[in-house]
Structure 1
Amino acid sequence: MPFYQFDASGLVKRYVDETGSNWVRALFDPSQDNVISIADITRAEVASALARRTREGVITLNERDELMQAFQTHCATGYRLVLTEHSIIDLAVDLIQRYPLRAYDGVQLATAITVNQSLVAYSLPPLIFTIFILK
């Protein structure tokens, strides 16, 4: 059973048609038996991404509301939410000091590192951290 961690840039592709959406959606096929975790801050990031796409005219207000409802349902029933504890923030601060990361990117990376350490400690397959960066 593969373990995936999504940040908002990857997760939003499940809800909005854009480059990479088909690949992301395939990971959510129940036959794949994938475990999907997200940092709790991803909830705010996805809400922001959907609101921005509404302002830009990519999706309608109605579509945004439907997508947010689907996302909230998935958060409640399908995703493993990782709480952003002090230890994750401390690690994020360290990572941000060493690498050119934005604040939430540092928290996302620190969350992925923490989840991966837990998986490895229990002899489970390592985490696959899924992000999409377009510059």
Structure 2
Amino acid sequence: MTSSRPYIVRGLYEWILENSCTPYLLVNAMADRVEVPRQFVKDGQIVLNISPVAVMDLLVADEDVQFNGRFGGVPMDIYVPMSAVMGIYARENGQGMIFDLDEGDVKPPTPEGSDPTTNGPKLVKKSPQTKTKSPGLRIVK
């Protein structure tokens, strides 16, 4: 099957605009073939405002996202392969979606509670004083 990512990006883009919000695209700037202004890349990522008032000639195709934007007053053609799109969300409230990495992008981490040397479960004794963590969000790079 083809990737669902371009369909989700297009759908969320429309939904964000219909709710009078500003769509932001989170991009892995270190991925192959990504053309973005490198001076604005932070921690290997860049956030791009893709609202109609901020860009010209926006095209969200099945394979990529392309548009022309101004960065520091200088026009630049932006090219982002769909595999480098990490998420799309509304600036005003953060509503949107962050995508899982495609298979082959990075080696999957060792599952929690397993021993990487034996690929088997690791025995862990829990003391009664062990605190449980409250659920929370974290950024995955």
Fold shared per TM-score above 0.5: no
Greater share of strand residues, 1 or 2?
A: 2
TM-score w.r.t. length of structure 1: 0.25
Larger RCO: 1 or 2 (CA < 8 Å, sep 6+): 1
Report the TM-score, using the length of structure 2 for normalisation: 0.24
